[in-house]
Amino acid sequence: MAVARNTAWVLGAQLVASPLQLVVAIILARWLGAGTYGQLQACLTLLWTGALTLQLGHVSALIFQVRQKVHSPAEAAGQGLFLVGCTGMLAVLVAWPASPWLRSELLLGAPSTALLMLSAALPFLLTMQIWGAVARATDRFDLWAAAIALQPAVVLVGIGALVLRDVRSLSPALALYVAALASAAAVLGISLARQHGLALRMRWTVFRQAMRFGLAGHASVLLAALHERADVFLLAALLQDPAVVGVYAVAVQIANRVRVLPLALGSALYPALSDHDASHREALAAAAARLCILGVVVVAALIALTAKPLLPLLFGSEFTASLLPLALLLPATVAHGLRGVLFRYFQAIDHQRVNVMLEALGVLCNTALNLWAIPRWGAAGAAGASLISYTMVAGGLAWVFLRRSALHPRSLVPGPADARRLVERLWAR
């Protein structure tokens, strides 16, 4: 089954990339210190949020149109690169006049060279997103998996150069991410262009259809990204303390290891759901949700049992304060895993309004809670706000899914058969 094979590819890549990402986080946090590490995470958060905003939902539209044979992969790639080239250039032109405000309010006093590095990284990230969509649309999940695993490996190699030269500043650390994104974009672009070609001509009617489809879903994707990343922006803006952002970023980095299975399932599930007829979509989504919940709970429990002795040992005593936010983020990531699967389901069946409404409610709830909790409890307040808002959105999506599909609530509860299936998948890899 294609979804199982594609999930296995992405899961395998995540199982390689996730430990590497954790090693990168450990080394950079200890090497740079909490303050500079907090600035680094604020910069990366701005980069990823900006790139997601600028693709205008075209990644989802590209996958949908290629799967529905509206576009050839070559035409889809050319159209997508044209779009992100225009939006990326516009973003850089707007960002530089606003750089004093960006650096002081969102980037925690980062130097101007940090903004230069972000401007260099943006086109590579946007290019990687477009070629990544082509890879997933054409079932080249092996290439997408290679790009996922390559990025932390490049950063890790670059860290060795920083350590040898005793460089402990922000801009060289950001340069490592520029190199990683450039490498991943090159691997995807060269491989897929050789296989499918690259057509730079535009079919404006199809482009307008893609924009309509993409923008309809873009609101939900953008709201979901804001829901995930608003806490970092609000911590930076409200407290103006890079060390607190660094402490919170370490908790997020560790909690994100729980998301390995949801990310793999989500990447493979969307193209599969776009292909399936309506009678099979609900059953496939429910099975994916059960498998996701089971895997997330197991990983979250392992992290919870080992975090207290290992976190200060690995990251240093400066990050002991990350334990409380981590304790709140772990159950939040369980809810977030269920939300990720059901979000992809509603996206694939073009019921974008469900995602938009619930994610908008989640962003409003998360923002209000953060504004109240961060000044009182700092990083722990941000983590608590995420726990409440993620659980609310996941519960809402599950309720709508069950009503629409007429499935019993037990269809989302994992059982022994799901545990056996998870073990078989992992053993097979």
Those residues whose C-beta lies under 8 Å from the C-beta of residue 132, and which sit 6 or more positions away, are 59, 144, 147, 188
Look-up of token digits 């205008």 = 56
What is the token pair recorded at 387? 């726990």
Give yes or no for residue 79 having a pLDDT over 90: no
Greater pLDDT, 344 or 255: 255
Closest CA to 1 of 283, 261, 263: 283
The stretch 92-116 carries a mean pLDDT of 90
Helix (H, G, I), strand (E, B) or coil at 201: coil
Give yes or no for residue 395 having a pLDDT over 60: yes
Per-residue pLDDT at 271: 66
Helix (H, G, I), strand (E, B) or coil at 72: coil
Q: Are 369 and 316 in contact (CB under 8 A)?
A: no
Neighbours of 288 (CB within 10 A): 25
Give yes or no for residue 110 having a pLDDT over 90: yes
Helix (H, G, I), strand (E, B) or coil at 30: helix
What would the pLDDT profile of 330-385 be if each residue is shown by its tens digit?
A: 999 889 888 888 888 887 777 878 988 999 999 999 999 999 999 999 999 999 99
Helix (H) or strand (E) holding 321: none
Closest CA to 152 of 10, 8, 18: 18
Closest CA to 255 of 293, 222, 224, 299: 299
User: What's the rounded Cα separation, in Å, for the pair 320 and 313?
Assistant: 9
Q: Are 177 and 145 in contact (CB under 8 A)?
A: no
Per-residue pLDDT at 78: 87
Give yes or no for residue 428 having a pLDDT over 70: no
What would the pLDDT profile of 186-208 be if each residue is shown by its tens digit?
A: 999 999 999 998 887 767 676 67
pLDDT-above-70 percentage for the chain: 88
Look-up of token digits 């949801």 = 262
Greater pLDDT, 61 or 213: 61
User: What's the rounded Cα separation, in Å, for the pair 380 and 329?
Assistant: 9
Give yes or no for residue 238 having a pLDDT over 90: yes
Q: For the chain, which residues make up each domain, given as ranges?
A: 2-428
Give yes or no for residue 246 having a pLDDT over 70: yes
Name which of 213-217, 227-231, 276-280 the model is least confident about: 276-280
Written as one string, the DSSP assignment of 98-128 is THHHIIIIISTT--HHHHHHHHHHHHHHHHH
Give yes or no for residue 88 having a pLDDT over 80: yes
Query: How much is the pTM?
Result: 0.86
The stretch 405-410 carries a mean pLDDT of 86
Those residues whose C-beta lies under 8 Å from the C-beta of residue 272, and which sit 6 or more positions away, are 2, 3, 6, 284
pLDDT-above-90 percentage for the chain: 49
Per-residue pLDDT at 157: 94
Q: How confident is the model at residue 262 (pLDDT cuts 50, 70, 90)?
A: confident
Greater pLDDT, 180 or 163: 180
Sign of the four-CA dihedral 347, 349, 354, 358: negative
Name which of 80-84, 132-136, 151-155, 269-273 the model is least confident about: 269-273
Give yes or no for residue 429 having a pLDDT over 50: no
CA–CA distances in Å: residue 427 to residues 18, 110, 303: 18, 45, 21
CA–CA distances in Å: residue 260 to residues 188, 256, 429: 21, 7, 14
Q: How confident is the model at residue 213 (pLDDT cuts 50, 70, 90)?
A: low
Helices (H), 138-203: 141-165, 170-196
